[in-house]
Amino acid sequence: MDNKNGITNGLKGKTISTVELLAMTNGKSNTEPIVQNNPINEDDRTSNVTTTPEPIIQSGTTSDISKGRAYVTVAILLTINLLNYMDRYTVAGVLNQIQTYYNLGNASDGLLQTVFIGTYMIFSPIFGYLGDRYTRKYIMAGGIFFWSCVTLAGSFVDQEHKLWFFVLRAAVGVGEASYSTIAPTLIADLFVGELRTRMLMIFYFAIPVGSGMGYIVGSNIAEAFGHWQWALRFTPTLGMVCVILIVFVLKEPQRGHSEGGRNLHNTTFCSDLMYLFKNKSFMLSTFGFTCVAFVTGALALWAPLYMQRSISVQGGNPKESVVSLTFGGITIAAGFIGVFLGAESSRRYKRVNPRADPLICAFGLLTCTPFLFFALVVSKYNTTATWILIFLGEVCLCLNWSIVADMLLYCVIPTRRSAAEAVQILMSHALGDAGSPYLIGLISDALAKKYRDPPKTPSVQFATLQSALYMTPFVCVVGGGFFLATALFIVKDRKEAEKITKDMVVIDEAKGIDNPVLEGEDITVTVANPEKSQPL
């Protein structure tokens, strides 16, 4: 009691830091938390600490994971991500054959991608909610099993039942949502700092590399077997292997373990959403990433077909497998270089500028703009120059992938990261690549009606698709602006997330926001005591 009275007298009329308070309180270690994660009234700075916090839901998790097992986990996640993007863009690699088989127009081709993205974004919040509360490895395993089954089933739909082909491609999005919302959070719980940046770089190599492999593998398997349906029967087999690896090899880390997280508890989903919507860095970077998704979605579906029409207009005789192989190779190379340059630039530049991540993302989008614009301009005259410009544009566009994920993970606390991934997926796809392929096709079909020549004439098909694709450079400029705005808030939001994770602030669950115990404030403190809580 004497000790407490002495502290009380010493605190009157003074301001202290959180570290100084810990050092004075009964000789406790300066790494022990001041308060528990219990709600406090924003208008009353006196914290009423209880001994019965909300239960932690961490079923099946463990924190004793060796470095070797952590690297194996990243390798498994990378493999699955490769398969996801291979499957997603296999359809684009054989799009011309699918168009002929089901007698589809450009708008219907775009709708094929849109229905997949639609279910993907709708189910992401569901898996985001589950991913923050239950064992993530089993959620992923179930989703990948479902994805493999419906992908395989889609390859057996005949011409008379094309509606079912659309339905099954939409169902693929359910399986992918279960994985994409959860996998980055596992990496965040295994690694921290520059090592996390590198692991995310490796993980996100799968996006461009898997996409490129989808074009190459899909078109060449279809050519080898004589039917495009065989292109959809390759990835499901490997998907089943990945399910086995997840269940029996992957070991799940405890949430927040890599960052020294303590006393992290789940809050209500509404509180999670309110927290995310008030997080300026998260929201602005999500809008910026939405622009990235819009552009990549449009190019991923339409670029191979556009280049076939470009070569035809120049008097060539394009072969679908050759064009897909070229575009796939460019996508792999550009993606590998772009993701690597983005992650390494971020890692090095952050040492001198804490706002490096959003600035690099803005640079990537703004630099991508002239390359895409001039690629469309010269595509009527020179195929080689067009390929080079597309390559350079994709390199700049891919600077963003791992950096955006890294920003999300360090600006959001561990128990809300799956929800954050889900919200970002929902917003970026709803306003981005869910609509851009269909919108490009719709504009192209509408413009074709204004030509005197028949709409299916190669020159008309090329000119209308070219005009529609001019939207993409404009969207890049808008995205660059959002990332520049993110740079204004990134430092503050990162510090606040770190304080919550290390139990240096308390969470006001009723409002979904965080009330930090800031250095230099006049505060009244309550000492946690199992028997009695007394103000100092």
pLDDT of residue 529: 40
Q: Work out the pLDDT band at 260, boundaries 50, 70, 90.
A: low
pLDDT in tens, 72-87: 999 999 999 888 888 8
Residue 26: the pLDDT is: 42
Q: Is residue 188's pLDDT more than 70? A: yes
Q: What is the mean pLDDT of the chain?
A: 78
pLDDT of 288 reads 96
The percent of residues above 70 in pLDDT, for the chain, comes to 79
Question: What confidence score (pLDDT) does residue 535 get?
Answer: 37
In whole angstroms, give the CA distance from residue 184 to residue 434: 22
Per-residue pLDDT band at 264 (split at 50, 70, 90): low
pLDDT score of 205: 85
What pLDDT does residue 258 have? 63
Confidence bin at 259 (pLDDT 50/70/90):
low
Q: Is 506 strand, coil or helix?
A: strand
Q: Is residue 249 within 8 Å of residue 121, measured between CB atoms? A: no
Burial degree of 92 (CB within 10 A; 0-12, 13-18, 19+) = buried
More confident residue, 88 or 406: 406
What DSSP character marks residue 513?
E
pLDDT of residue 534: 37
Structure confidence by residue, pLDDT tens digits, 124-180:
888 888 888 888 999 999 999 998 999 899 889 988 888 899 999 889 888 888 888
Whether the predicted pLDDT of 63 surpasses 70: no
Q: What's the pLDDT score for residue 39?
A: 38
The least confident of 45-54, 98-107, 167-176 is 45-54
The tokens for 358 are: 């959003």
CATH homologous superfamily of 268-510: MFS general substrate transporter like domains (1.20.1250.20)
For residue range 367-402, list pLDDT tens digits in order: 999 999 999 999 999 999 999 999 999 999 999 988
268-510 has the same fold as 65-257: yes
3-state secondary structure labels for all residues of 416-481: HHHHHHHHHHHHHHHHHHCCHHHHHHHHHHHHHCCCCCCCCCHHHHHHHHHHHHCHHHHHHHHHHH
Q: What is the mean pLDDT of residues 406-427?
A: 87
**Cα distance between residue 38 and residue 265, in whole Å:** 9
Residues 390 and 318 sit within 8 Å (Cβ to Cβ): no
Using the predicted structure, report yes or no on whether residue 470 has a pLDDT greater than 70: yes
Q: What is the pLDDT of residue 89?
A: 77
State how far the Cα of 215 lies from the Cα of 167, in Å rounded to an integer. 22
Listed ranges 9-13, 82-86, 525-529; the one with the highest mean pLDDT: 82-86
Give the confidence band of 21 by pLDDT, cuts at 50, 70, 90: very low
Q: Is 362's pLDDT higher than 90?
A: yes
Give the architecture-level CATH label for domain 65-257. Answer: Up-down Bundle (1.20)
What confidence tens digit (pLDDT) does each residue in 29-49 have? 333 332 333 333 333 333 343
Q: What is the pLDDT of residue 480?
A: 96
Q: Which amino acid is at 49?
A: V
Where are the chain's structural domains?
65-257, 268-510
pLDDT value, residue 257: 63
Residue 55 has pLDDT above 80, yes or no: no
Q: What is the b/e burial string over 452-479, where b = at least 16 CB atoms within 10 angstroms of the residue's CB?
A: eeebeeeebbbbbbbebbebbbebbeeb
Q: What is the pLDDT of residue 153?
A: 92
Verdict on whether the full-model pTM lies above 0.75: no
Compute the Cα dihedral for 200, 202, 205, 206 and give only its sign.
Answer: negative
Higher model confidence: residue 502 or residue 508? 502
% of the chain with per-residue pLDDT over 90? 27
Task: Please tell me the least confidently modeled range out of 55-64, 149-158, 350-359.
Answer: 55-64
Name the burial class of residue 271, with classes exposed (0-12), middle (13-18) and buried (19+) by CB atoms within 10 angstroms of its CB: buried
Among 86-100, 294-308, 372-386, which range has the highest average pLDDT? 372-386
Pairwise pLDDT comparison (67 vs 321), residue with the higher score? 67
218-252 pLDDT tens trace? 878 888 888 888 888 888 888 899 999 999 988 88
pLDDT interval class at 429 (50, 70, 90)? confident
